Amino acid sequence: MTVGRICRRDVDLVDPDTTARVAAQRMAARNVGSLLVADGRRHVLGVVTDRDLALRVVGRGLDPHLTCVGEVMTPHPDTVSEETSVEDALAVMRSRGVRRLPVLGPGGELAGVVSVDDVLVLLAEEFGDLSRLIEHSSPRLMAHCQPWSDAP
| pLDDT tens-digit readout, 51-87 | 999 999 999 999 999 999 999 999 999 999 999 999 9
| pLDDT tens-digit readout, 3-27 | 999 999 999 899 999 999 999 999 9
Residue 88 CB: number of other CB atoms within 10 A?
Answer: 14
Residue-number span of the structural domain to which 62 is assigned: 3-143
Within a domain: 43: yes
Q: How far is CA 82 from the centre of its chain?
A: 12
CATH of the domain at 135: 3.10.580.10
Within a domain: 83: yes
Within a domain: 33: yes
What is the reported pTM?
0.78
Mean of all residue pLDDT scores within the chain: 88
Beta bridge partners, 27, equal: none
Residue 80 CB: number of other CB atoms within 10 A?
Answer: 22
Within a domain: 136: yes
Within a domain: 15: yes
Q: How many domains, in total, are found in the chain?
A: 1
| pLDDT tens-digit readout, 39-48 | 999 999 999 9
Within a domain: 148: no
Percent of the chain with pLDDT over 70: 84
State how far the Cα of 16 lies from the Cα of 71, in Å rounded to an integer.
8
